[in-house]
Amino acid sequence: MRLANIFDLGVKELRSLRRDPMMVLLIVYAFSVAIYTAATAMPETLNRATIAIVDEDRSTVSTRIVSAFYPPYFSEPELISQFEMDERMDSGIDTFAINIPPDFQRDLLAGRRPEVQLNVDATRVSQAFTGSGYIHTIILEEVQAFLERRRDASELPVEIVVRARFNPELNQSWFGAIMEIINNVTILTIVLTGAALIREREYGTVEHLLVMPVTPFEIMTAKVWSMGLVVLLACAFSLWFVVEGMLAVPIEGSVPLFLAGAAMHLFATTALGIFLATLARSMPQFGLLLILVMLPLQMLSGGMTPRESMPELVQTVMLAAPTTHFVMLAQSILYRGAGFDVVWPQFLWLAVIGAVLFGIALSRFRKTIEASS
């Protein structure tokens, strides 16, 4: 093995990537616009949901309820008549429509249980689910506040004080930005390395490499370091410029330590990308394989849902996936400020998984080259 060959072949990969404008555009988009969009448009977040209110009571408590809905969660409530409610819902103008019945305040003070009707446009699934809970809580809080000024409210025997650690504002954009970076690091690495190998096969440059004094190990190592370096630099840029700069997300831990963990993760995912490229004969086949591999890697890694909520068998199997340990490492460092003394098991796991994947991919790559020759 000659380090000069690995370096020169890696530079060749970088030049080939530079001549592929669509791939360059994909990298720029994935680590800029995609990060910002994922952070500011989280599907669970309620943002300026349209709401209309039919106030048939025109009382103090109904006025309090109307004034309790305001941006950024809801748009300014539109006061409408009962005859307009169904028409506006059918036209898709309102996501939520509340109907406060006549004599609502009088029945409330008399100890009766008056009903407030909430109509929801369930075709807007994410806002319908989240907004219904918000509206339910807001109405109950306003009614309770109204009654407490007129009745003796019984005090609860226990007071619960909530202290939210690592995200005191409970801002979902903080979580969305970091997780999008983690997901894009994985998918871009596999795409770049796999596409680099398939591109050489389609252009016929693999045959040129076979007549050169280079080994399959040198060819594969060059692809690993060059494509890994591109993704690592893009990740660092996105973390500093987009996440910390544009989104103002506070980073608790050491960014260099996170990038070191990302480099270990890239070692594993680049090898996985090359392995998938040796199985596929064309870019469409590679894309189909990528879908089959990336969906479980991302959905079962613990980034979307906690690993503790998954079946034990799934948790055990996913320990063999590099994304599981990268998610644990990234969240520990960036969210909780963990040091190397805390995340060293994840570093060790990534090194072992990367070495195994690299060995499997190298064996498959050698067989592919031998078949081509």
Task: Indicate the domain borders of the chain.
Answer: 3-41+169-372, 51-148
- pLDDT at site 326: 93
Query: Across-strand partners of 97?
Result: 52, 119
Do the bridges between strand 78-79 and strand 51-55 make them parallel or antiparallel, or are there none, so unpaired? parallel
> Poorest-confidence range of 56-60, 61-65, 146-150?
146-150
- pLDDT at site 372: 61
Question: b/e per residue, 145-161, with b = 16+ CB within 10 A?
Answer: ebeeeeeeeeeeeeeee
- How buried is residue 203: exposed, middle or buried, by Cβ count under 10 Å (0-12/13-18/19+)? exposed
- pLDDT at site 28: 92
Following DSSP, what letter does each residue of 302-321 receive, concatenated? SSSS-GGGS-HHHHHHGGGS
Average pLDDT, the chain: 86
CA proximity to 114, closest of 135, 97, 133, 100? 100
Could you give the C-alpha distances from 334 to 16, 66, 338, in angstroms and in order? 33, 40, 8
Share above pLDDT 90 across residues of the chain, in percent, rounded to a whole number: 37
* 342 or 41: which leads in pLDDT: 342
- pLDDT at site 39: 81
**Chain length of the chain:** 373
pLDDT mean over 163-169: 74
- pLDDT at site 301: 86
CATH topology (fold) of 51-148:
abc type-2 transporter like fold (3.40.1710)
Query: Which pLDDT band holds residue 81 (cuts at 50, 70, 90)?
Result: very high
DSSP 57: S
* 280 or 171: which leads in pLDDT: 280
- pLDDT at site 268: 92
Say if residue 369's pLDDT is above 80. no
- pLDDT at site 299: 86
Query: Across-strand partners of 49?
Result: 74
3-state secondary structure of 181: helix
Say if residue 346's pLDDT is above 60. yes
Q: Compute the C-alpha angle 186/29/187, nearest 5°.
A: 15
The pLDDT tens digits for 25-40 are 999 999 988 888 888 7
Q: Please state, in angstroms and rounded to a whole number, the distance separating the CA atoms of residues 197 and 203.
A: 10
pTM of the entire structure? Answer: 0.74
- pLDDT at site 295: 87
The pLDDT tens digits for 214-273 are 788 888 898 899 999 999 999 999 999 988 888 888 888 899 999 999 999 999 999 999
The pLDDT tens digits for 89-140 are 888 899 999 999 999 999 988 888 899 999 999 887 778 888 888 999 999 9
Say if residue 306's pLDDT is above 60. yes
pLDDT mean over 17-28: 88
Say if residue 332's pLDDT is above 80. yes
Give Dmax (Cα) for the chain.
93
pLDDT mean over 171-199: 85
Half-sphere exposure in the Cβ direction for 95 (13 Å, CA): 20
Query: Which pLDDT band holds residue 44 (cuts at 50, 70, 90)?
Result: low
Say if residue 152's pLDDT is above 70. no
Say if residue 167's pLDDT is above 80. no
